[in-house]
């Protein structure tokens, strides 16, 4: 019994109510939500310590008997997910306060931003702590509802278009989740994870396999595992920058967490290694090929997000201690780094008015700090030694080589290729957005706007509906964009060069935004420095989840193992 366990859920929910009441006092609203999330970080840190020292921390809500009521459980895995997610949400909240909530107040009702954000945080915490499947479903709904609102903030055309797909896909996956819950309950008469761990073993193999596949499909939609990842790159980029950042960091990882939890606790004897390895392979390769083709940085990062989910699925698919340990480390690394990168994109948008590679150029000279803030997490994402991305990939590779089946070797190779292609994608963005001058960017836009008008230029080649300029390829959408830049009558599509000419570039960025981003990047570097202890911890977490007796006996009491 530990009264701290429910606090990461209760506090943000209370905070949400309070901030809703304070909607006319923005100052107080900010103070309340920042305080609440800071307290959640502290609570989560204490939980990590307690779970590590004294085993899983459990509370039975309402003091109901263990098997009847709802229990919240914080074991090593839950606690570390909780801590990282709390740190990331706090950083994003501070960032969005610096930005003036979402950066587009003229089309966004700001009063609901703070309450919704806190509800999202409560839903994510509840998902990590849930000790039974129905509570997991409810927490998914809590965080999804908050995400529906945040994704369609302001109801602009693009957000409604993206939101429609997002909402329908997620409602569908929730229905699938409910179907699996009904099936699990009909088969076992319980939804408590610890009880299920024992009861599912007694089921006929085919029934258990059906339940496992139902749950896996549900969580694979949430985690954006190929081929169920189609919805993600289309819906994330339209939201305000901080919203995209927190979605990219947390929401897919909640799905990954749910996969880890159900795979280890409920179905340890049937890891479906081959199926998951294939899913990991395809997620890695298809995702990164999508990223390489993008000329919009937000879309590019959304595709790398899908792709790197493949690494975590790879670790889960191996089903070994090394695999789980690597997967947990990679989740921690990826939550931090992906959020940091999206926050940097928000800064770029603020500085240069766009995140399109057609419009950007010369940022390294005009905003050197911004360049550093982009470069470090981008290299970390690609896995350049000695950063945490590299260490996570090494751990997963070692795990794959230990298993040593041909398919595992293939996925390891695909992981290497993905790492290189990630480097290519982020380096392409670096070259175009940061390294060339704004003038060069403008010239390229001119060439693109009329590719046939430059017969003398060896660099511009038109070919089957797209245009090659040097080593870069641009599609029809990019040509339209280039034309809109050069449209004299339309000031809404200016590139960075034109903005500098017009003098509309902000001279400096808000300090809180830069500070929050820098803090998150510093945290990711700290993960690199402290990688030894962190790996020890994830190793212990992996050992815990592989020996499910620890979880079961701490929830149901000794003697029930």
Partner 1 sequence: MSTSLSLILAAAAMIGCGVYLILERSLTRVLVGLVMLGNGVNLLFLISSGPAGRAPIVGGGDGAMSDPLPQALVLTAIVISLATTAFILAMAYRSWQLTGGDNVQDDVEDAAIRRLALTDQASDSFDLSRQGDADDDLDVPEEEGRPA
Binding site for partner 1 (CB under 8 A): 134, 138, 141, 145, 148, 152, 155, 157, 160-161, 163-165, 167-168, 171-172, 174-175, 178-179, 181-183, 185-186, 189, 230, 233-234, 290, 464-466, 475-477
Q: Which is nearer to partner 1, 95 or 231 (CB)?
A: 231
- Tally Cβ neighbours within 10 Å of residue 227: 10
Q: Cβ of residue 69: shortest distance to partner 1, in angstroms? A: 11
Q: Which is nearer to partner 1, 50 or 174 (CB)?
A: 174
- For residue 305 the two structure tokens come to 């997000």
Q: Which is nearer to partner 1, 14 or 183 (CB)?
A: 183
Q: Cβ of residue 118: shortest distance to partner 1, in angstroms? A: 18
The CA-atom distances, in angstroms, between 411 and each of 3, 71, 78, 296 are 43, 37, 27, 28
Q: Cβ of residue 187: shortest distance to partner 1, in angstroms? A: 8
- Let me know: does 181 contact 133? Beta carbons within 8 Å: yes
Q: How far apart are CA 88 and CA 408, in angstroms?
A: 32
- For residue 373 the two structure tokens come to 């803030």
Q: How far apart are CA 103 and CA 288, in angstroms?
A: 29
* DSSP-assigned letters across all residues of 213-257: HHHHHHHHHHHT-TTS-TTHHHHGGGS-HHHHHHIIIIIHHHHHH
Q: Cβ of residue 41: shortest distance to partner 1, in angstroms? A: 29
The CA-atom distances, in angstroms, between 241 and each of 344, 345, 425 are 9, 7, 20
Q: Cβ of residue 319: shortest distance to partner 1, in angstroms? A: 30
Q: Cβ of residue 164: shortest distance to partner 1, in angstroms? A: 5
Q: Which is nearer to partner 1, 99 or 229 (CB)?
A: 229
Q: Which is nearer to partner 1, 186 or 372 (CB)?
A: 186
CA end-to-end distance (rounded Å), the chain: 19
Q: Which is nearer to partner 1, 181 or 531 (CB)?
A: 181
Q: How far apart are CA 483 and CA 479, in angstroms?
A: 6
Q: Cβ of residue 111: shortest distance to partner 1, in angstroms? A: 17
Q: Which is nearer to partner 1, 88 or 127 (CB)?
A: 127
CA angle (145, 246, 256) in 5-degree steps: 80
DSSP secondary-structure letter at 155? G
Q: Cβ of residue 155: shortest distance to partner 1, in angstroms? A: 5
Q: Which is nearer to partner 1, 191 or 309 (CB)?
A: 191
């Amino acid at each position: 019994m530990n009264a701290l366990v429910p606090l990461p859920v209760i506090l943000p929910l209370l905070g949400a109510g309070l901030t809703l009441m304070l909607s006319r006092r923005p100052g107080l609203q900010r103070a309340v939500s920042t305080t609440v999330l800071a307290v959640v970080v502290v609570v989560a840190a204490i939980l990590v310590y307690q779970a590590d020292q004294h085993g899983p921390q459990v509370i039975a809500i309402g003091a109901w008997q263990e098997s009847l009521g709802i229990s919240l459980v914080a074991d090593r895995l839950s606690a570390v997910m909780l801590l990282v997610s709390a740190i990331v949400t706090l950083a994003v909240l501070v960032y969005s306060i610096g930005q003036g909530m979402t950066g587009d107040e003229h089309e966004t009702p700001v009063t609901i931003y703070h309450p919704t954000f806190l509800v999202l945080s409560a839903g994510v915490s509840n998902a990590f702590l849930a000790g039974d499947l129905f509570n997991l479903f409810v927490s998914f709904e809590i965080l999804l509802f908050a995400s529906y609102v945040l994704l369609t903030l302001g109801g602009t055309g693009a957000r409604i278009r993206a939101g429609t797909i997002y909402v329908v896909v997620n409602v569908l996956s929730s229905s699938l989740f409910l179907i699996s819950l009904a099936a699990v309950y009909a088969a076992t008469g319980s939804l408590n994870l610890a009880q299920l761990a024992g009861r599912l073993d007694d089921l006929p193999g085919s029934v258990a396999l059906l339940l496992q596949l139902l749950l896996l499909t549900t969580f694979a939609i949430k985690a954006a595992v190929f081929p169920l990842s189609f919805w993600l790159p289309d819906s994330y980029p339209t939201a305000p920058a901080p919203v995209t950042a927190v979605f990219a960091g947390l929401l897919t990882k909640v799905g990954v967490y749910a996969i880890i939890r159900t795979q280890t606790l409920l179905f340890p004897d049937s890891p479906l290694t081959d199926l998951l390895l294939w899913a990991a392979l395809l997620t890695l390769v298809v995702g990164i090929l999508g990223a390489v083709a993008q000329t919009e940085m937000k879309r590019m990062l959304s595709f790398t997000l899908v792709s790197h989910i493949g690494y975590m699925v790879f670790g889960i698919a191996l089903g070994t201690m090394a695999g789980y340990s690597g997967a947990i480390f990679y989740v921690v690394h990826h939550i931090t780094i992906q959020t940091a990168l999206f926050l940097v994109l928000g800064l770029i948008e603020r500085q240069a008015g766009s995140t399109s590679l057609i419009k950007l150029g010369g940022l390294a000279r005009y905003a050197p700090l911004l360049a550093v803030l982009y470069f470090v997490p981008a290299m970390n994402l690609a896995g350049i030694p000695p950063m945490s991305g590299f260490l996570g990939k090494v751990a997963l590779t070692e795990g794959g080589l230990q298993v040593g089946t041909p398919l595992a070797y293939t996925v390891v190779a695909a992981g290497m290729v993905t790492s290189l292609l990630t480097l290519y994608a982020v380096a392409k963005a670096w070259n175009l957005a940061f390294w060339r001058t704004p003038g060069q960017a403008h010239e390229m836009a001119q060439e693109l706007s009329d590719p046939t008008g430059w017969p003398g230029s060896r660099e511009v080649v038109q070919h089957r509906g797209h245009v090659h300029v040097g080593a870069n390829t641009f599609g029809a959408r990019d040509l339209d964009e280039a034309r809109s830049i050069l449209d004299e009558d339309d000031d809404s599509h200016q590139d960075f060069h034109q903005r500098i000419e017009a003098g509309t570039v902000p001279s400096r960025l808000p300090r809180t935004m830069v500070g929050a981003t820098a803090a998150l990047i510093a945290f990711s570097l700290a993960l690199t420095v402290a990688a030894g202890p962190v790996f020890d911890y994830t190793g212990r977490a992996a050992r815990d989840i592989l020996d499910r007796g620890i979880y079961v006996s701490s929830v149901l009491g000794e003697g029930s193992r």
